[in-house]
Chains A and B, each alone.
Chain A
Amino acid sequence: MLQDRTRHVLYLLLAAAIALPFFTGTVIPPTVGPEAKALYKAVEAVPNNKIVILSLEYEAGTLGENLPQTRALMNHLMKSGKRFAIMGFEPIGPVYGQIEADELAAKWHRPYGKYWVNWGYRTAYVQTLKAMAKDVAAAIRTDHRGVPLSKLPVMRGIHSPKDVGLVIDITPSTYYEAWMAFFTGPAKVKMAVAPTAVMVSDIFPYLDSGQMVGMLKGLAGAAQYEALVFGRTSRERGITWMTSVSMTHILIIALIILGNATEIITRRRKAVGGTA
């Protein structure tokens, strides 16, 4: 009964920690890490005659992290007028990408087909990537509505992998390994990844080896990227949501300290009781 009550109190505290920043409207300015900075520079360095591929592999479960990452990157791409393509080896990712891009396209005046394109959901990722490594346009052929890519101005001059300036895999899974093995590796195309926070530790070997040029570390990475695009105190989605997450981290740290203090006190009491 007592344990149940403790659990309920903890859940209430967590709900309050998450909700409070949304009501107070405060934001904690993020400090930009080297991985986000490197990705920002890599996007800036993509020449105008090349396209950036955003591979969106997430579903509803990880929207909290992957959607702000997508939004932050799209904001930068649209702000700087870079061409980009959305695609995914999971069916829902490109749908979310289309919704975000539609909204941002209206804000930045970047019409579909001229600045960006949705290549849609693709099955058989190994075979698709192998085919793309030979000829991107021939492997994809049409956009998500069945319009031939040759009719879209955004695809003008985009044929071989050499015309791809950067691949960014926004993902809660390990599709980035397939991208490296079958496309960016053989075709020598730059690659970056925006994983969920739990996956971050897996990516460091690829950053060190140079196989990846940058990374957005979960929601924190999205907030850092927004800080680079809009400034540290902006109230963009990633920065606002990250303030909430910061509060939960403080709560978790406080609970760990409290739990250990309780344990130490209980042990001492038992020891005193045992010797008495």
Chain B
Amino acid sequence: MGAFITTPRHGIQLALFVLGSVLAFALAMAAMHALPTRYRRWITVLFTFVAGLFYLAEFVIPAGVGVPAGSSRATDNFLSKYLDPVGNASAIIFAVAVGMGILNLARVNGAPLLRGRPGWQNSLAFFAGLIAMTVVGLTRWHAMLGATTPAARRAVEAALVGRLYHLLFDGFYSNLGGTVFALLAFYIVSASYRAFRLRSREATLMMVTAFIVMLGNVPVGPTYLTGWIPEGHWFSFAKVEHVSDWIMSVPNMAAQRALIFGIMMGVIAMSLRVWLSLERGHFFGQED
């Protein structure tokens, strides 16, 4: 069974295999949908547990267990050979999840657009962006596949599809994305004037620290503020970049280590809850 799934296929055999897989997936989904909620939940719980167990077992089972001596790498056990096919299956599930996400977005935005509900303009922008980028992106990608030389690739870029792609990607996507993020700078400036006040000893300590770290990390601090102190001079410890480095690599690092430790303990607890399906509201919980 494992070999049947993982054997590489080409041409018509590959097309039939992909079609068969899609049909099998659709049938499995239809069957799941027809089942009562409690059976669906148990099937999902079972698959989640087995998938988690595979990676845990592969990690903790010692090397060499179930593997004939000298036949494999020293770090492998009998589960290691399945890492690649399971990894590929995970990649496919991720890809399907992206497709499901697009379908869901289309469903959420389709209704306001068709019924003319308030905000329908946003839904229109979503569909226009999605369709334009998909069509132009795929057309350019297809043209690029046939362009094997730099001259041919430049010709694709100079053609209408190439120019449209750069208009959408560089002109719209990159600039809009950068602009939204850059708006943060305006909030920070406003907040620095209004909220960063010396109201207590702790606030004062935080502000002085922030000042030093900020100045130590931008060229203006080391170059102009304490640039006159020569490196190696007995007083060079007072150079703003050195004080900033000390703050980051001593008190900050101690706090970060504590945080990382705490966060990772939380991650382990959370992973266990997800793996064992103990998380509240997991898998159709809202349908009860």
Show the binding face of A for B, using Cβ within 8 Å: 6-7, 10-11, 13-14, 18, 28-31, 33-34, 59-64, 95, 111-112, 122-124, 126-128, 130-131, 134, 138-139, 145-146, 186, 197, 200-202, 204-205, 207-208, 217-218, 220, 223, 242-243, 245-246, 248-253, 255-256, 258-260, 263-264
Contacts and interface: CB of A to CB of B under 8 A. Distances in A.
A63 B196 contact: no
A139 B186 CA distance: 44
B272 interface: no
Contacts of A138: 84
Given A246-B219, A249-B220, A259-B192, A201 B180 contact: no
Among A13, A62, A63, A251, max chain B CB count under 10 A is at A63
Contacts of A263: 197-198
Given A10-B190, A14-B189, A208-B249, A123 B94 contact: yes
B188 interface: yes
Contact of A124 (B91, B182, B190): B91
Nearest to B174: A60
A249 B214 contact: yes
Nearest to A17: B189
A204 B253 contact: yes
B279 interface: no
B181 to A, nearest CB: 4
Given A14-B185, A255-B193, A260-B198, A127 B218 contact: no
B219 A243 contact: yes
Given A127-B87, A217-B217, A259-B196, A34 B245 contact: yes
A31 B241 contact: yes
Q: Top 8 closest A-B pairs, CB basis? A: A60-B177, A127-B87, A31-B222, A61-B181, A28-B219, A124-B91, A123-B94, A124-B90
A253 B150 CA distance: 49
Contact of A245 (B84, B94, B218, B227): B218
* Binding site secondary structure of chain B: helix
Contacts of B88: 127
B29 interface: no
A48 to B, nearest CB: 24
B268 interface: no
Contacts of A260: 196-198
Contact of A252 (B75, B182, B214, B224): B214
A153 B56 CA distance: 38
Contacts of A10: 186, 189-190, 193
B248 A201 contact: yes
A242 B220 CA distance: 10
B178 A61 contact: yes
A111 B151 CA distance: 13
B177 A204 contact: no
Given A60-B173, A252-B188, 7 more contacts: A7-B190, A29-B219, A61-B177, A204-B252, A208-B249, A259-B192, A259-B193
A189 to B, nearest CB: 15
Contacts of B181: 60-62, 64
Contacts of B185: 14, 18, 248
Interface in B41-66: 55
Given A59-B177, A63-B178, A256-B207, A204 B189 contact: no
Contact of A134 (B83, B176, B214): B83
Contacts of A205: 253, 256-257, 260
Contacts of B284: none
B193 A220 contact: no
B220 A246 contact: yes
Among B88, B189, B257, max chain A CB count under 10 A is at B189
Among B174, B186, B193, B207, max chain A CB count under 10 A is at B193
Interface string B142-168: 001100001000000000000000000
20 contacts: A28-B220, A28-B224, A61-B180, A63-B177, A64-B178, A123-B90, A124-B87, A126-B90, A131-B84, A134-B80, A134-B84, A204-B256, A246-B219, A249-B215, A249-B220, A250-B220, A252-B214, A255-B192, A260-B197, A264-B198
Contact of A256 (B75, B86, B95, B196): B196
B73 interface: yes
Contacts of B207: 256
Nearest to B214: A249
Nearest to B170: A99
Nearest to A252: B192
A11 B189 contact: yes
A253 B178 CA distance: 24
B107 interface: no
B194 interface: yes
B17 interface: no
A62 B215 CA distance: 22
